[in-house]
Amino acid sequence: MDVVAALVAPCSPEALFSWVDDLGLYPQWLEIVTKAEPIDGGAWAVDLRGRLGPLARSKRLRMVRGATTDPLSVRFERAELDRREHSPWVLEATVTPNADGAELHMRLHYGGGLFGPVLERVLRDEIERSRLRLLGLVTTAS
């Protein structure tokens, strides 16, 4: 499953990028990320929680920063240490300047099949809600 989203914000590209470059800030604007704390060697423990009607699902992931070549791009990848095979989670975010300030493009890839259609619906609904929260944060900080 791949979910893509974009956002145009009236701020500098650097100001917008600061909100997606640090996983620790995601709980402030992305409700499905309930916790993101730095742990061993530059990794984060990320708690995800999604709700669809009476159904709720929680997941803890160990995420690390992946390689990027653009200074305004970031990539986070699932990297568990338990030597078991896990479904991949990859989050990529790139910020570019535009006439209105900055544009954010995000892509989330989930390689598992469990709750796929339900998870995709939850993510798409949350993306719509998170746009306003993130816009509020970047415009208040600017």
Q: pLDDT by residue (tens digit) across 57-88?
A: 788 999 999 988 889 999 999 999 999 988 89
**Coil, helix or strand at residue 20:** helix
Domain borders along the chain are 2-141
CATH homologous superfamily of 2-141 equals: START domain (3.30.530.20)
pLDDT digits (tens, 9 = 90+) for 112-139: 766 566 667 777 788 888 999 999 999 8
Q: How far apart are CA 138 and CA 74, in angstroms?
A: 18
Query: What is the share, in percent, of the chain residues with pLDDT greater than 90?
Result: 62
Whole-angstrom distance, CA of residue 8 vs CA of residue 111? 28
pTM of the model: 0.88
Q: Who contacts 99 (Cβ-Cβ below 8 Å, separation ≥6)?
A: none
Element (H, E) at 100: none
- Cβ-proximal residues to 114 (8 Å cutoff; 6+ apart), any chain: 87
